């Protein structure tokens, strides 16, 4: 499978809020501004082991497969 890049649009699409996402990124030591600008590799999000990250990654994978 090709590399999946998760974007803020994916976060919004699964119903997560931007402010909560910003705090989540901070807790996990990830750069939220870079994420907004460039997206983030799905593997980086999955490495957190967080259920919400898995939800967003699964959505992003589905989105990519449709295109």
Distance CA 49, CA 52 (A): 9
pLDDT of residue 67: 81
Kindly give the residue spans of alpha helices, DSSP state H, lying in 1-67.
8-13, 18-27, 32-38, 42-46, 51-66
pLDDT of residue 20 exceeding 60, the answer is yes
**DSSP H or E stretch at residue 6:** strand 5-6
Residue with tokens 């999000």: 45
Domain count, the chain: 1
Kindly state the average pLDDT of the residues 10-33.
Answer: 95
pTM score, two decimals? 0.90
Distance CA 45, CA 67 (A): 22
Domain interval for residue 26: 5-66
């Amino acid at each position: 499978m090709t590399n999946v890049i998760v974007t803020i649009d994916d976060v919004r699409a699964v119903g997560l809020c931007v402010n909560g996402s910003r705090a989540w990124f901070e807790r996990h030591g990830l750069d939220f501004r870079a994420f907004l600008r460039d997206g983030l590799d799905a593997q980086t999000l999955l490495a957190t082991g967080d259920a919400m990250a898995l939800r967003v990654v699964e959505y992003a994978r589905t989105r990519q497969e449709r295109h």
